Amino acid sequence: MPDVCLVVPCYNEEQRLPVAALLAFLDSHPHVSLCLVDDGSRDGTLGVLRHLQTQRPERVLVVAVLPNAGKAEAVRAGVRQVHATGLWAFIGYWDADLSTPLSEVDHLHAALLANPACRLAMGSRVKRLGSNIDRRITRHVLGRIFAACASGILGLSVYDSQCGAKLFRRDTVDVFFAQPFLTRWLFDLEMLVRLRNAIGLEGMNAACEVPLSCWTEVGGSKLGLRAMVGVPIELLRIRAGYNR
């Protein structure tokens, strides 16, 4: 029986979607399926996703979101579609550039299986002996500043909330995805706040960060400088929205 389905949000990925890597992963992981979400792309991304689906029709779902709604709502649409099928015990989402190799899902899956109290496993780009985390120093520093802001404003002690590799139990989908998100890019933090609001402060014990063994920075990020400058305002927006 299928066990895991990963939602992959795609926006204007026609030229860079690693189709061969996606197919190879499916062949090596028979318990994992993919839900590919086209977020109102202006190029031929949807056609690429449809063609990929024909290669593994029993393992690939395709969802089209129109108009472009941003990563948060693209992920939400995909997760809700997967959840509605009732087929998978674990659902997650993954960045389309595969900066985190899809094989890292094995570590997140193992963390959830080993700890029944854990509801959400989050990939974490921690540089440590034996790992291969290839990240520019400027991005690392910005990440630490971001984590400090999130901790100070939202009270979340999380090292790396923004890594695009998450896996959770299907019974938490309504907690995380029942309502639209307030922000387009910081929905990972909103998920943690929703978990905390749903089950109290012990909610932070229901999320675990899993150090990745491999992560490689890929160019072409769609998160620009304007979005980074607005992060403190977005964090305050989250705090106000969920404290009501």
pLDDT in tens, 189-209: 999 999 999 987 665 679 999
pTM: 0.92
pLDDT band at 225 (very low <50, low <70, confident <90, very high): low
Average model confidence (pLDDT) across the chain? 91
223 has pLDDT over 60 = no
pLDDT band at 144 (very low <50, low <70, confident <90, very high): confident
- List Cβ neighbours of 195 (8 Å cut-off, separation of 6 or more): 119, 120, 172, 175, 176, 203, 204, 206, 207
Is the CATH code 1.10.238.10 the one for domain 4-243? no
